[in-house]
Chain A
Amino acid sequence: MDAQILSWVVFLPLVGIPVILLLPKQRPDLVKWAALGTAAADFLVSLYLPANFDSANPGMQFTVTLPWIESFGIYYRLGLDGISLFLVLLTTFLSMLSIYSTFSAITEKVKGFYISFLLLQTGMLGVFVALDVFLFYVFWEGMLIPMYFLIGVWGGPRKIYATIKFVLFTMFGSLLMLVAILALYFLNRSATGGYSFNLFDFYQLALPLSIQVWLFLAFALAFAIKVPMFPFHTWLPDAHVEAPTAGSVILAGVLLKMGTYGFLRFLFPLFPNATFQFIPLLAALSIIGIIYGALMAMVQKDVKSLVAFSSVSHLGFVTLGLVAMNLQGWQGGMLQMLNHGVSTGALFLLVGMIYERRHTRLIDDFGGLTKGMPIFAVFFMIITLSSIGLPGTNGFVGEFLILLGTFRTNPVWAAFATTGVILSAVYMLWMFQRVMFGEVKNPANAGLPDLNFREKAVLVPLVVFVFWIGIYPNSFLKNMEGSLADLLNQVNRRETVLRSLPSQSWSEFLSAGRGTRSQAAVPVKPSP
């Protein structure tokens, strides 16, 4: 099993699809259990990964390499390292919980919903483990289709507007990235004479800064839209507000991380010199995102769009940690990706639970819910505290490491970013007060049933992670440290080596031919 474990993890969700198709339409309950069973099986299989993960090995593990379209140098190439390990686990974990959370919410076109969901799961997992850039792109784009349907079919009143906006926004960035990928492909061909989409071959390209800049911009735009960084964030509130709960959970919990993952896996190591050129810009956008997202969250009327804007703020922390370009920033950033998945995922689940009871998400429609729903109140409070980074919860460790890493790079950035810590308390606690505290003024809020068994079962595992990461984050930090340290070294080393390259234009580089690579060959870790 070891050899193909990643293939199993990625494609196991697809196994559920024919089962769902064969089940009778009149039995939606069976369909739901089949979907949950598939996702749970996938989660269990994915646990094989941390159990057998070697944290001392910074390179790719569980690698698979099979020829796919050999004449173009396209391979089916998967691998997992400390960067992708927890993102894969987060995906299988959240998918399972999200599917379980939908049992009462999805009543129409049940089969279609779960088929889309499982397709989406495979797409997301593929993105995190693909090491062939072409394969990566296939997963990256392929994942859009099920997400398009999840929002467009099972969404709210403005679902069509939201889903088209989401897809067009993302496509816009992705297409530029596709162009850049093809450029890399041909640049690599001219440097080595071979056809390859292998990411590790691309890593070795000695691109002059003038070329890096353009490719960097194309990749960065695609990732920045996905994250989303300010000012490319406006698709997010719409998508979240219209998406069904499970869609929001996955969108916030996993999809956004693809952007930040892309920073680490593609953007920084492929274009180290351009990266360092653009760090001030990226840092500025991150800090603006932190503060701007928080301020916008503060004035939202809809809980879901509040959480959406809070994501802009939290992801601003993540990108800031990444552009700090040191180990604390990166580990904090990676950890914060997981934290955001856990906490914001849980927040969307919680919002979904009261939405199912009240069919509204407007803050003003609520008030005094604690009285009737004390258990809900406890969960909501814990997740709120995690979201505002209270020490002892997961949010603190991530945020603190990010700020610490940022402070080492530039104390002024850290000072601005730290105001986000104040603002997050403002918007979250204000919202919490208006929804949960006070007297029950609206009779519709009286006598709401508290959480049922299924709802508690969805939330408890998330709360476990809130405290696990908060109290003993080393289980996570230790496993990601090796790969991140290695990558950081590689980026820094290549940045120094490549800085001495003469400035070359595209045509010069392409015509210089094979010599280029050997002249500036840079030792990097061997490709798997």
Chain B
Amino acid sequence: MDLVGLIPLLPILGFAAIGLGGRWLPKKAVSILGPGVVGASFLMTLAVFFQLFSLPPSERRVVTSLFSWVVAGNFSVDISFLVDPLSMVMALVVTGVGFLIHVYSVGYMGEDPGYRRYFAYLNLFTFSMLCLVLSSNFLLMYLGWEGVGLCSYLLIGFWYEKKSAADAGKKAFIVNRVGDFGFALGVMLIFTTFGTLDFGGVFSQAPALSTEGGQRIATAITLLLFLGAVGKSAQIPLYTWLPDAMEGPTPVSALIHAATMVTAGVYMVARCHALYLLAPFSMAVVAVIGALTAIMAASIGLVQNDIKRVLAYSTISQLGYMFLACGVGAFTAGIFHLVTHAFFKALLFLGAGSVIHALSGEQDLRKMGGLRKYMPATYTTFLIATLAISGVPLLSGFFSKDQILSAAFFSPQGGNFLWLLGIVTASMTAFYMFRLFFLTFTGGCRASEEVQHHIHESPHSMTVPLMILGFLAVVGGYIGMPHALGGVNAIAGYLAPVFADLPHLPEPSLGMEYLLMATSVVVAFLGISLAYFFYVRSPQAAERLRQNFLYTLLLNKYYVDEIYQALIVSPIVAGSRWVWERFDLGIIDGAVNGSARLVEKLALRGRQLQTGYVRQYAMAVVMGVVIILAYLVWG
């Protein structure tokens, strides 16, 4: 377990070497160092994982403290790492998928003048993300939390000369800060409640909050933390930054905005399940926000024309599923979906990147089409990922999504309504994904002649990661195969020590479970068939849809960005400007300058007394004497 410190250390060393080495470091070295440190980190994680696995299940929780970080009075926090099944799942995803994306980037970013800067940022991101998931206390988690936000900011705005990219980076950071506002207050409340920020100390004391007053505190803590999760994982109402984040290089979208960072909120909620379980209200909020976000984002995804934006809304929607799972108490299902989603969504983004690369930077679905014959590897892997996310049986997405929907239906905290939202979302997902797939790979090519001329399959550094992810997107689901299908649900058993305190859900009847499963399959195929109808069979029908009011509403993303701009951003900026000019310069400074002017005026008046005429002075003296005498005599 002592190796755990090395897991985040290697990427930060990579960052330092590439960052400080700068131009002295040859590009070749960067291509090896950048992915290399993450690969080494992945091997370390595997080593630690097997060490952990060799322990009996009840002892699979090891804390390694490096040094004490902040000590002030009775407040004390260490830089310390927690190795348990949950943190290991996350670390494996971060370093494993992260490594593949680093390798992919060698090909994708090869021609970019900011190559070194790119890998430095990517390593820094990996470090921060590992701090986030490996931390054994809330403060180090917060460091990772804000650290990934910083890297997200830097990488979204990677092409900083483009205003839209710089804007998007800034927006991501600021919206995330709104979430972090809640996270920070939650952490403070945790400290004042429990007197510590260590996970161990906090969660072991959590049962003490089961009193009525304690529940109120638990509700406050969990809602504040959830605000942080809402920001980081792009849920209603703070999701607007994620679609804009697509301004960044595509591998970044795959790594940060699909597979790892945006799932941090789900991880955090799962990590704090001991607190959430004490706050039924917060659980309900998590579930409802998750379900609503899932359906809302999916509906926007139905009509977007930018390939990456469709995937971005899809990510928001899938994250909503994960929160829905957590909210109904199915934390294992949420983490399971987090893992499978990391595989197939990273694959989708990387595949999209491969397409964009081939089409000389084109991202508009309306200018794609027929790429199947040019890019067989990309086509095949993309199809696998599309099938997986659509919930087609026997692929990874089917198993994890089904677990969530089943939990939403059966769990005491769930209900028909949440399940319904989930199932409608599922059919929408199948629709928008196959719409994207058909528009990209089938039919005739709608790109310009010149672009068509350059279409090519991507280099091996890009296609090999696609294939590996494709393999994972197929088999990843078997770690969580449900009992109903004769599986063993290995991931549930593996995570059991972490979620040992969860109340046992009533075992649903097999018949009902099969029925739900069948419904999922039917709606998935329904979505796929509709997409086939509109985008392969009769495209003119799809054209007619465009006239619809609803279509315009969705295309404009319910005008949420415009509403935020009009209701929040503009009034604050304009109001501040007004206050500065009228109040700060006008009233406060006016009073300051005014009092100076008053003194000046009084002095000018007073000066007139000094006439220099001795007669007047003598007169004044005589008058004074008379007044004093008068006072003494009569006063």
Binding site for B on A (CB under 8 A): 165, 168-169, 231, 234-235, 292, 295-296, 298-300, 326-328, 331-332, 368, 370-371, 385, 390-392, 396-397, 400-401, 403-404, 407-408, 411, 414-415, 418-419, 421-422, 425-426, 429-430, 433, 436-439, 471-474, 477-478, 481, 485
Q: Does B163 belong to the interface (CB within 8 Å)?
A: yes
Q: Does B633 belong to the interface (CB within 8 Å)?
A: no
User: Given the complex of chains A and B, what is the CA–CA distance between A300 and B576 in angstroms?
Assistant: 10
- From the candidates A234, A328, A415, name the one contacting B72 in the complex (CB within 8 A): A328
Q: With both chains docked as a complex, state the minimum distance between the C-beta of A226 and any C-beta of chain B, in angstroms.
A: 16
User: Given the complex of chains A and B, what is the CA–CA distance between A235 and B75 in angstroms?
Assistant: 37
Given A401-B70, A433-B167, A481-B71, 13 further pairs, Cβ under 8 A: A234-B589, A295-B576, A296-B576, A296-B580, A327-B72, A370-B160, A391-B142, A400-B184, A407-B189, A421-B181, A429-B170, A429-B173, A477-B70
Q: Chain B residues with Cβ under 8 A from A368's Cβ?
A: 161
Given contacts A327-B73, A401-B70, contact A391 B146 (CB under 8 A): yes
23 contacts between A and B (CB under 8 A): A169-B592, A295-B572, A295-B576, A296-B584, A299-B577, A327-B72, A391-B139, A391-B142, A391-B145, A396-B143, A408-B192, A418-B181, A418-B184, A418-B185, A421-B181, A421-B184, A422-B180, A425-B174, A426-B174, A433-B157, A473-B69, A473-B70, A485-B73
Q: Chain B residues with Cβ under 8 A from A168's Cβ?
A: 596
Let me know if A438 and B147 touch, CB within 8 A: no
Q: Does B32 belong to the interface (CB within 8 Å)?
A: no
Let me know if B71 and A477 touch, CB within 8 A: yes
- Residue of B68, B180, B191, B592 with most partner-chain A CB within 10 A: B592
Let me know if B174 and A429 touch, CB within 8 A: yes
- Residue of A234, A397, A439 with most partner-chain B CB within 10 A: A234
Q: Does B166 belong to the interface (CB within 8 Å)?
A: yes
Q: Is the interface of A mostly helix, strand, loop or mixed?
A: helix
Within 8 A of A (CB), among B162-191: 163, 166-167, 170, 173-174, 177-178, 180-181, 184-185, 188-189, 191
5 interchain residue pairs of minimum CB distance: A327-B73, A391-B143, A407-B188, A437-B166, A295-B576
Q: Does B484 belong to the interface (CB within 8 Å)?
A: no
Q: Chain A residues with Cβ under 8 A from B573's Cβ?
A: 298-299
User: Given the complex of chains A and B, what is the CA–CA distance between A417 and B166 in angstroms?
Assistant: 28
- From the candidates A295, A414, A429, A478, name the one contacting B188 in the complex (CB within 8 A): A414
Interface size on B, residues (CB 8 A): 48
Interface string of B308-333 (1 = CB under 8 A from A): 00000000000000000000000000
Let me know if B73 and A411 touch, CB within 8 A: no
User: Given the complex of chains A and B, what is the CA–CA distance between A422 and B149 in angstroms?
Assistant: 13
User: Given the complex of chains A and B, what is the CA–CA distance between A481 and B166 in angstroms?
Assistant: 42
Q: Chain B residues with Cβ under 8 A from A477's Cβ?
A: 70-72
- Residue of B70, B181, B577, B588 with most partner-chain A CB within 10 A: B70
Let me know if A438 and B166 touch, CB within 8 A: yes
Let me know if B157 and A407 touch, CB within 8 A: no
Q: Chain B residues with Cβ under 8 A from A328's Cβ?
A: 72-73, 75
Given contacts A433-B170, A481-B73, contact A407 B185 (CB under 8 A): yes
Let me know if A422 and B181 touch, CB within 8 A: yes
Q: With both chains docked as a complex, state the minimum distance between the C-beta of B182 and any C-beta of chain A, in angstroms.
A: 9
Residue of B nearest to A238 (CB): B589
Let me know if B191 and A404 touch, CB within 8 A: yes
Interface string of B619-631 (1 = CB under 8 A from A): 0000000000000
Q: Does B512 belong to the interface (CB within 8 Å)?
A: no
User: Given the complex of chains A and B, what is the CA–CA distance between A477 and B77 in angstroms?
Assistant: 13
Q: With both chains docked as a complex, state the minimum distance between the C-beta of B570 and any C-beta of chain A, in angstroms.
A: 12
Given contacts A390-B150, A401-B70, contact A433 B589 (CB under 8 A): no
Q: Does B579 belong to the interface (CB within 8 Å)?
A: yes
Let me know if A299 and B576 touch, CB within 8 A: yes
Q: Chain A residues with Cβ under 8 A from B166's Cβ?
A: 433, 437-438
Q: With both chains docked as a complex, state the minimum distance between the C-beta of A121 and any C-beta of chain B, in angstroms.
A: 29
Q: Chain B residues with Cβ under 8 A from A471's Cβ?
A: 69
Q: Chain A residues with Cβ under 8 A from B67's Cβ?
A: 472
Q: Chain A residues with Cβ under 8 A from B188's Cβ?
A: 403-404, 407, 411, 414
Residue of A nearest to B589 (CB): A234
